A and B are shown apart, each in its own frame.
Chain A
């Protein structure tokens, strides 16, 4: 019984790959997701961009992002398939649900805090300790003592 989770998949296609090959691979990925009862959410083609270092003999590649929901088996299958395809020079599958949940929770908490401060008529933004100018003075003082 595996859980449904949200994942992000980014793969880099070789710069030699044609438009056709890129869309083919995308539909292939989509069909795999469908086969494993996953839910395809969105795709993004970042286009050709220069990589920070060479991978194999390539200096640039076409980046494609896919966001989907599915089980661990699905990611395993995608991973296996992408490894086999020669046109894909690198791929990465990241589970994002947990992080997005944490981010959402933090955002909600901050919003609640802001609301609370507004309700009580307190300044919004929270107390900040020490202005920067004062701190610079302190630094000089530290230097003088040494």
Chain B
């Protein structure tokens, strides 16, 4: 009921949101970045195996650098595990250190 009363008079933050929403035609209030999902969390992987090079390959694209988590969306815990797995795989020449 409080909402109904307020809807007539545009208040600060709310007004800005509305202006944006009319352009979009959406009803969203908050602003979120696109939520990336952690591949390992959704697939319920507990142990990231350094021996499984095929599984690690998508995380070392092109230059064979480890894909940053801001791009892959992997959660912090799994990125840490992924990192050690990739480094171990590299020692065994299962993954490259670099490509030219």
* Chain A interface residues toward B at CB < 8 A: 10, 12, 51-53, 55, 61, 63, 65, 90, 92, 94, 99-100, 102-104, 106-107, 110, 129-130, 132, 134-142, 144-145
B contact residues around A110 at 8 Å (CB): 44
- Interface of B, helix, strand, loop or mixed by DSSP: loop
Say yes or no: A92-B34 contact (C-beta < 8 A), given A103-B46, A106-B46, A138-B28: no
Say yes or no: A53-B34 contact (C-beta < 8 A), given A103-B46, A141-B28: no
A sample of 16 cross-chain residue pairs with beta-carbon separation below 8 angstroms, ordered by A number, consists of A52-B90, A52-B95, A52-B97, A92-B91, A94-B50, A103-B47, A106-B46, A132-B34, A132-B35, A135-B34, A138-B32, A138-B34, A139-B33, A140-B24, A141-B20, A141-B31
A contact residues around B95 at 8 Å (CB): 52
Instruction: A94 to B44: give the CA distance in the assembly, Å.
Output: 23
- Interface of A, helix, strand, loop or mixed by DSSP: helix
Contact A53 B93 (CB under 8 A): yes
A37 to chain B, nearest CB (A): 26
- Interface core residue of A52, A137, A142 (most chain B CB under 10 Å): A52
Contact B92 A144 (CB under 8 A): no
B17 to chain A, nearest CB (A): 9
B contact residues around A102 at 8 Å (CB): 46-47
B75 is an interface residue with CB less than 8 A from chain A? no
Q: Pick the contact of B47: A10, A100, A139 (CB < 8 A).
A: A100
Counting from the closest, the 9 A-B pairs by CB-CB distance are: A51-B93, A103-B46, A103-B47, A52-B96, A135-B34, A106-B46, A52-B93, A138-B32, A139-B34
